[in-house]
């Protein structure tokens, strides 16, 4: 019997289509192996080609002096860094000048690597770049909200294969983000409690959808996952803003994120995926009602007309089954790779 499950945080319903259900292992990617080169002459993110990208904003170096992670402006930025956002009101139409910040975080000098294959301390450096840029850009009075995200693979919308993530700071808070804040605020008003903190506690107690639990974080397949293997990594401590993550937490996040991505890499054969940090905007950084987290979305299925037309998704893999499958994945064989 299929069932509808409500995503508490968006109030959207998801159809768990048990009649067309797939076993988790059926979601494994079937593709021809095409090993990447470690260096590509025309790649703007490979070492020696730094002049092909705009001037560097931030760098972290390895003990040998070579860079480990670099941040540069996106050469094909969606928004321009110059000027002020100005509203234009013309009859019913609303336009704002496209002012904002669009950075690229180059995650490693090695063209062929990916976070699942990096040592945890290198993942920590990537996250340190995120935090440092997040805090700096949050100070810009033109910025209303910051989205940090990663596109891995063609199905996830990437155009450059060298491992990188991006940060886009916009002069508005999107309607989607406002809607999530509003639902969380309503919950707080009614129950005096953060709905994320409550959910984490319930999930840990029930232990059906918890894939990993570390000192400071919990990785969960959400009860109303819209797509197979969608995973949330939630801090145990209440924090609305990613900018408030501590050093100890960042180090722990690096390990759990890497292990989670390694499980997907091994279990589903290096699937295309996105991840995104869902954080409160700076203007409500201290909110008692919102809780930041990192959302991983493997891109194993296509969005079709029903999803576009209704906003509801049809998921063919139960999160409980995805959890059981992922818990059984051994990621140890990956542990020794490095650049």
User: Which residues have a catalytic role annotated?
Assistant: 164
Among 30, 34, 51, 94, binds its own copies (CB under 8 A): 94
CB atoms within 10 A of CB 216: 19
Residues 72 and 56 sit within 8 Å (Cβ to Cβ): yes
Residue 166 Cα distances to 13, 70, 100, 306, angstroms: 30, 11, 13, 30
Spell out where 122-195 has E strands: 145-152, 164-170
Report the distance separating Cα 94 and Cα 90, nearest Å.
7
Q: Does 150 bind its own copies (CB under 8 A)?
A: yes
**Out of 130, 134, 216, 275, the residue judged to bind its own copies by CB under 8 A:** 275
Residue 179 interacts with its own copies (CB under 8 A): yes or no: yes
321 binds its own copies (CB under 8 A): no
CB 174, min distance to its own copies, A: 5
Q: How far is the CB of 199 from its own copies (least distance, A)?
A: 6
- Residue 52 makes contact with its own copies by CB under 8 A: no
Minimum distance between the CB of residue 68 and its own copies, rounded to whole angstroms?
A: 22
The answer to the question of residue 98 lying near its own copies (CB under 8 A) is yes
Q: Pick from 72, 71, 39: which is nearest to 53 by CA?
A: 72
Nearer to its own copies, 187 or 255 (CB): 187
186 touches its own copies by CB under 8 A = no
d(CA 166, CA 154): 16
**Region for 49 from its dihedrals, namely left if φ exceeds 0, alpha if ψ lies in -120 to 50, beta otherwise:** alpha
Q: Which position among 48, 157, 286, 328 is part of the footprint of its own copies (CB under 8 A)? A: 157
CB of 64 to its own copies, least distance (A): 31
Residues 6+ apart with CB under 8 A from 273: 150, 152, 153, 156, 261, 264, 296, 297, 298, 299
Q: How far apart are CA 129 and CA 290, in angstroms?
A: 23
The residue range among 8-16, 28-36, 134-142, 238-246 that interacts with its own copies, by the rule CB under 8 A, is 8-16
- Tell the smallest beta-carbon distance from residue 202 to its own copies (Å): 6
| Binding flag, residue 302, its own copies (CB under 8 A) | yes
Residue 292 in contact with residue 279, Cβ under 8 Å?
yes
Candidates 56-64, 91-99, 239-247, 261-269; binding stretch for its own copies (CB under 8 A): 91-99
Asked if 204 is part of the footprint of its own copies (rule: CB under 8 A), the reply reads no
Q: Write out the two tokens for 297.
A: 């979305």
> What 8-state DSSP symbol labels residue 55?
P
CB of 266 to its own copies, least distance (A): 22
Q: Which of 84, 174, 186, 269 binds its own copies (CB under 8 A)?
A: 174
Strands 87-90, 313-315: pairing kind: unpaired
Q: Residue 122 corresponds to which tokens in the numbers above?
A: 């290198």
Using the contact rule CB under 8 A, the part of the chain among 23-31, 58-66, 175-183, 323-331 near its own copies is 175-183
| CA–CA distance, 268 with 298 (Å, rounded to integer) | 9
**Of 69, 123, 108, 112, which Cα lies nearest the Cα of 256?**
123
- The contact mask relative to its own copies for 214-253 (x = CB under 8 A, - = no) is ---------x------------------------------
Question: Is 13 or 39 the residue whose CB approaches its own copies more closely?
Answer: 13
Nearer to its own copies, 259 or 274 (CB): 274
Nearest approach, Cβ of 66 to its own copies (angstroms)?
A: 28
Query: What's the length of the chain?
Result: 339
19 binds its own copies (CB under 8 A): yes
């Amino acid at each position: 019997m299929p069932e509808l499950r409500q995503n508490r945080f968006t109030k959207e319903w998801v159809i768990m289509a048990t009649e067309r259900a797939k076993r988790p292992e059926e979601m494994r990617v079937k593709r021809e192996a095409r090993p990447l080169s470690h260096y590509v002459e025309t790649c703007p993110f490979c070492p020696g080609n730094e002049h092909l990208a705009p001037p560097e904003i931030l760098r972290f170096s390895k003990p040998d002096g070579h860079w480990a992670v670099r941040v540069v402006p996106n050469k094909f930025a969606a928004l321009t860094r110059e000027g002020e956002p100005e509203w234009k009101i013309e009859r019913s139409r609303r336009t704002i000048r496209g002012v904002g910040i669009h950075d690229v975080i180059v995650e490693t000098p090695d063209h062929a690597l990916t976070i699942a294959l990096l040592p945890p301390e290198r993942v920590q450096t990537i996250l340190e770049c995120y935090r440092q840029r997040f805090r700096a850009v949050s100070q810009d009075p033109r910025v209303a909200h910051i989205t940090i995200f990663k596109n891995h693979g063609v199905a996830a919308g990437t155009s450059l294969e060298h491992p990188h993530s991006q940060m886009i700071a916009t002069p508005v808070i999107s309607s989607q983000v406002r809607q999530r804040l509003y639902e969380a605020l309503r919950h707080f008003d009614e129950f005096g409690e953060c709905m994320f903190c409550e959910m984490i506690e319930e999930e840990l107690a029930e232990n059906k959808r918890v894939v990993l639990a570390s000192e400071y974080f919990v990785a969960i397949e959400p009860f109303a996952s819209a797509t197979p293997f969608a995973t949330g990594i939630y801090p145990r401590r209440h924090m609305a803003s990613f900018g408030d993550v501590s050093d100890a937490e960042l180090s722990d996040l690096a390990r759990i994120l890497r292990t989670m991505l390694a499980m997907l890499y091994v279990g589903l054969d290096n699937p295309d995926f996105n991840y995104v940090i869902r954080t409160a905007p700076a203007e409500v950084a201290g909110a008692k009602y919102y809780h930041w987290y990192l959302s991983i979305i493997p891109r194993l299925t296509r969005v079709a007309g029903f999803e576009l037309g209704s906003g509801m998704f049809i998921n063919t893999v139960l999160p409980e089954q995805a959890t059981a499958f992922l818990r059984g994945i051994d990621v140890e064989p990956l542990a020794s790779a490095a650049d």
